[in-house]
Amino acid sequence: MRQVYLVAALLVSLGWSGCRSRAVKPPPAPPTSLSLVAVGDILMHQDVKRTADQDSSGFPALWSDLIPLFQGADLAFGNLETPIAPRTGRPGVPFQFNAPESLPAALRASGFTVLSTANNHAFDQGPGGVRETLERLRAQQLVAIGSGVDRAQAETLQILERQGLKVAFLGFTDLFNIDLNRRASEPWVRPLDLEPALQAVRDARGKADLVVVSVHWGNEYQHAPTKRQRNIAQAFAVAGCDVILGHHPHVLQPAELITVGDRRALVAYSLGNFISNQDRMYRADLFPVAGGDNRDGAALKLRFERRDDSEGRGGVVLAEVAIEPLWTENNWGAAANRREIRVIRVAAAEARVRGELDRLCDPAEGPRAMPQDAARKKSILEKQEYLRTLILRRKRIAEIVGETYMAR
């Protein structure tokens, strides 16, 4: 018995504690991560509004494929290229837009959080339309950037906090159809005056972890940014901007990274249209591929991380960039009673159609899915043509924005 006690004492002295295990250092916590999704122009053409009216779900039905993406992001951005002024404005007409009162709630329910209201259509319904638009967005807790009930509000820095990070948003327009900026005490849309804009970015840099600039600029229907745009983008990056979200051309333009010291800024010169009735007549079997460019869109997906250096000092870096191709379905000219305009995610649609074709072309599965040979052959031909359209649009988008950034 004495030997047993001696052995136990020896083991204790050596640090062995029986059932108790040695403490294991926990793995380091994952870095703080924040995601941002951005899309381009939200256009309220008459047929877009008609499609929403005809669907019991309203506007969200027009982009239902994108709702999981928007809702899954910490922040979701779009360029609201229309006033929402049914009370104070006139019904929308071509080139002078107005949206129904249901739109703000639909955008909020879909997952949007930040909307640019600085663009060439901001004054389509006059100063009163600017004021009513902002009231309606505010009522749905949507953050509007680039316009205000007065100049001070239009130039107020909007800072949102997500995942413990502060994100500053600024909005500018380089173009006006009607410039009704008159008095600082009246509704105001913030112009792209470069030196004040750069100073606004510098000020934001000192107050936030990330700085995002929305800018309405460029030449309509041109796929290349101008030299002036590139110079402005470089200046914004040097001033401290992390992301530049461009819109106005109604077609896509390239994305690129600008390196400033140890920082990288992402500029998307144009995100194209998100929802519109443009290029409604396009068919891939009848038109050259460029005939559908206004129906191409992009969902820019960014992820940022806070990373600490060896001395424990934190910095936020751009960790991931991906662009997902979008396409606006449009049944204009079809023998149908209902107008159908819907934004789809191209990759998901392509995968779905390939699966449907595999089933229909399978000797056993095809007849079970569609017993009549003639109907099955017709369906196969239609789906093959649709698949061709999706492939053409995906390749076209990659060619324009840059293959490097295409989502895998």
Q: What is the pLDDT along the chain (408 residues), one digit of tens a residue?
A: 444 444 444 444 444 444 455 666 666 667 789 999 999 999 999 999 999 999 999 999 999 999 999 999 999 999 999 999 999 999 888 889 999 999 999 999 999 999 999 999 999 999 999 999 999 999 999 999 999 999 999 999 999 999 999 999 999 999 999 999 999 999 999 999 999 999 999 999 999 999 999 999 999 999 999 999 999 999 999 999 999 999 999 999 999 999 999 899 999 999 999 999 999 999 999 999 999 999 999 999 999 999 876 555 668 999 999 999 999 999 998 877 789 999 999 999 999 999 999 999 999 999 999 999 999 999 999 999 999 999 999 999 999 999 999 987
Cβ neighbours of 143 (radius 10 Å): 17
Look at residues 407, 264, 344 and name the one whose alpha carbon lies nearest to residue 64. Answer: 344
d(CA 172, CA 165): 23
On whether residue 27 sits in a domain, the answer given is no
d(CA 119, CA 145): 11
Tell me what pLDDT residue 334 has.
84
Query: If you ran DSSP here, which 8-state letter would residue 88 be given?
Result: T
On whether residue 77 sits in a domain, the answer given is yes
d(CA 51, CA 276): 11
d(CA 325, CA 295): 11
Query: If you ran DSSP here, which 8-state letter would residue 237 be given?
Result: H
d(CA 112, CA 312): 34
DSSP alpha helix (H) spans, 274-371: 346-361, 365-369
On whether residue 183 sits in a domain, the answer given is yes
Tell me what pLDDT residue 92 has.
87
Tell me what pLDDT residue 286 has.
93
* Residue 52 belongs to domain spanning: 33-330
On whether residue 76 sits in a domain, the answer given is yes
On whether residue 335 sits in a domain, the answer given is no
d(CA 217, CA 237): 17
Tell me what pLDDT residue 21 has.
54
What is the residue whose two structure tokens read 């709630």? 105
Tell me what pLDDT residue 10 has.
40
d(CA 396, CA 153): 40
Tell me what pLDDT residue 8 has.
44
State how far the alpha carbon of 333 is from the alpha carbons of 53, 280, 338, 342, in Å: 19, 9, 11, 15
- Would the pTM of this model clear 0.85, i.e. be above it? yes
Contact (CB, 8 A) for 180 and 127 = yes
Query: If you ran DSSP here, which 8-state letter would residue 66 be given?
Result: G
On whether residue 382 sits in a domain, the answer given is no
What is the residue whose two structure tokens read 């969200």? 60
Q: Can you give the CATH number for the domain in which 188 is found?
A: 3.60.21.10
State how far the alpha carbon of 247 is from the alpha carbons of 39, 101, 227, 293, in Å: 9, 24, 16, 14
Residues β-bridged to residue 302? 36, 321
What is the residue whose two structure tokens read 């009704």? 180
Looking at the structure of the chain, the number of domains it has is 1
Contact (CB, 8 A) for 60 and 102 = no
Q: Which token pair is 33?
A: 């991560």
On whether residue 342 sits in a domain, the answer given is no
Look at residues 191, 180, 82 and name the one whose alpha carbon lies nearest to residue 137. Answer: 82
d(CA 37, CA 127): 30
On whether residue 5 sits in a domain, the answer given is no
Using a 10 angstrom Cβ sphere, with 0-12 exposed, 13-18 middle and 19 or more buried, the burial of residue 124 is: buried
d(CA 75, CA 347): 22
